[in-house]
Homo-oligomer: A and B are copies of this chain.
Amino acid sequence: MSDALVRLKETLGTIHDLERIASLVAWDQETMMPPLGAEGRADQRATLVRLSHELLVSRELGRLLEELRSREDSLPYDSDEASLIRVVRRDREKALRVPAELRAELIRAGSLGLGAWLDARARQDFRILLPHLERQLELKRRYVECFDPAEDEYDVLLDDFEPGMTTAEAESVLEELKDELVPLVAAVPELDPAEDVARSGPFDLADQRRFSLGLLCELGFEPDGWRLDSAEHPFAMAASLRDVRITTHYHEHPLGGIFACMHEFGHGLYERQVSPSLARTPLATGASSALHESQSRRWENLVGRGRAFWTHAYPGLQETFPERLGAADLDTFYRSINRIQPSLIRVDADEITYNLHIVLRFELEREVLAGRLALADLADAFDARVHSYLGIEVPDVRFGVLQDMHWADFTFGYFPTYSLGNVISVQLWERARADLPELDQAFERGEFGDLREWLREHLHRHGRKFTPRETLERAAGSAIDPAPYIRYLKDKLETTFGVAVA
């Protein structure tokens, strides 16, 4: 390796270490930290982000990248080295726009916001979080101002999660989903509550945990290299390629914690299967939030709410909860976990209404950022939008504006990637099923290795080498396209509930 490349990799290794440590201390904050630690933790997280930012924008790194320009040109586009130089140059150009102090302040304010959110939820009082949101909105506006004026201010925020995608593109996908899905929801008959066995509870929490862990180990969770913990809001992270941590949240009913496990497993596996040749570089992570969500939503829904999977797993679940499920056959259980019915909590929503939860959050974020909606009115606006799209009433803020962690640290721009991920998940799913025609039979035997390997080969191993658009093109063979997803939903409705929709 050339001397410049060695030095580049050293600096990038340091940056990467700091970023992974930042993820770890965030994980610790959500799972382990005593609440009084919040203030010290905010300082620590701000310091980590400031230092890694300073390294990224350093003149030294700029010089190295200049020095390596001809080398980059001489290498194949998809080589690890050319990709590393290319991606870091892009990261650096973006980072140069934002003063380190502003970046640190955003992290610090977000970290404090998370503490306030927990408090606000416990006391069911949005006003506890409000000043934190006001402060963060002000900071986010300053952040947006660091960049060239975009067609839509929201473009800047979306780009942090879905690099290269515009708000207009996201909107066109989400609008198509909304137009197609609202009539679907209306067409599905309500499930008889007596048949709704997945919500029959109470399901003992320790039993759920034991069952989930067993299931995860079948999917590919390695006990020596993964952890499963509880958190207020489930999430996944990788402290390194061989230290993957997922969290879930069990309720006595519905049986949602198991699906949250599968969701977070999808995130974890993406991080786990990045090529070891990219370790300790900025390429050693998923390509974008939507691609990440395409993995989590796949394992949660395409696998985890599928019939083949439960053909294998249901007997074990019945044994775990004989009183609740012993008398319910697989068909009944399958219909119950695929019930389509508007509900309050996004993460527990069915596959169809889930997207309406996303649409309304996307809309509200854009309205807040554009100044058309005051933060003080956000709680009420949230409730009104839920009523308008889902036809249900929000009883209190824990089921409304305070249900998600994402706004506590003002992660605006993230929500749309869930629905984009849903869309992509089916594009990839169709590809994988074409390549692996025996997939259902494998699932019925409890074998998931072929799918894992397909994902590793076509998506995971590339990490962040390519842009999200390039990555999707390589894995799915096409650009983002909601048609397969809509087709999948309609087909599932028909086979599960006999509802035929044009």
Task: Output the residue of A25, A239, A241 with the most chain B CB within 10 A.
Answer: A239
Interfacial residues of chain A within 9-42, with CB under 8 A of chain B in the complex: 13-14, 17-18, 20-21, 24-25, 28, 32-37, 39-41
Tell me, rounded to whole Å, the shortest Cβ–Cβ distance linking A221 to chain B. 10
Minimal Cβ-Cβ distance residue in B for A48: B21
Tell me, rounded to whole Å, the shortest Cβ–Cβ distance linking A445 to chain B. 27
CA of A13 to CA of B44, assembled, Å: 9
Cβ-defined contact, A47 with B34, below 8 A: no
Task: Output the residue of A21, A35, A43, A50 with the most chain B CB within 10 A.
Answer: A21
CA of A13 to CA of B37, assembled, Å: 16
Q: Known: A223-B34, A226-B34. Contact between A41 and B243, CB under 8 A?
A: yes
Minimal Cβ-Cβ distance residue in B for A14: B47
Cβ-defined contact, B17 with A44, below 8 A: yes
A→B interface (CB under 8 Å): 13-14, 17-18, 20-21, 24-25, 28, 32-37, 39-41, 43-44, 47-48, 50-51, 222-227, 239-244, 279-280
Tell me, rounded to whole Å, the shortest Cβ–Cβ distance linking A330 to chain B. 34
Interfacial chain B residues near A47, Cβ < 8 Å: 13-14, 17-18, 21
A14 contact from B17, B51, B227, Cβ within 8 A: B51
Task: Output the residue of A37, A39, A41, A225 with the most chain B CB within 10 A.
Answer: A37
Tell me, rounded to whole Å, the shortest Cβ–Cβ distance linking A355 to chain B. 35
Count the copies: 2
Interfacial chain B residues near A243, Cβ < 8 Å: 33-34, 36-37, 40-41
Interfacial chain B residues near A43, Cβ < 8 Å: 13, 17, 240, 280
Tell me, rounded to whole Å, the shortest Cβ–Cβ distance linking A207 to chain B. 18
CA of A241 to CA of B13, assembled, Å: 30
Q: Known: A32-B32, A32-B227. Contact between A242 and B17, CB under 8 A?
A: no
CA of A34 to CA of B47, assembled, Å: 26
A25 contact from B24, B32, B242, Cβ within 8 A: B24
Cβ-defined contact, B14 with A21, below 8 A: no
Cβ-defined contact, A222 with B36, below 8 A: yes
Q: Known: A14-B47, A14-B51. Contact between A40 and B20, CB under 8 A?
A: yes
A/B interface sample: 14 pairs, CB < 8 A: A13-B43, A14-B47, A14-B51, A21-B44, A24-B25, A24-B44, A34-B227, A34-B244, A36-B222, A40-B243, A40-B280, A41-B239, A41-B240, A41-B243
Tell me, rounded to whole Å, the shortest Cβ–Cβ distance linking A185 to chain B. 41
Known: A18-B51, A34-B224, A35-B225. 17 other contacts (CB 8 A): A13-B47, A14-B51, A17-B44, A18-B47, A33-B239, A34-B222, A34-B225, A34-B244, A35-B224, A36-B224, A36-B225, A37-B225, A37-B239, A40-B242, A41-B239, A43-B240, A51-B51
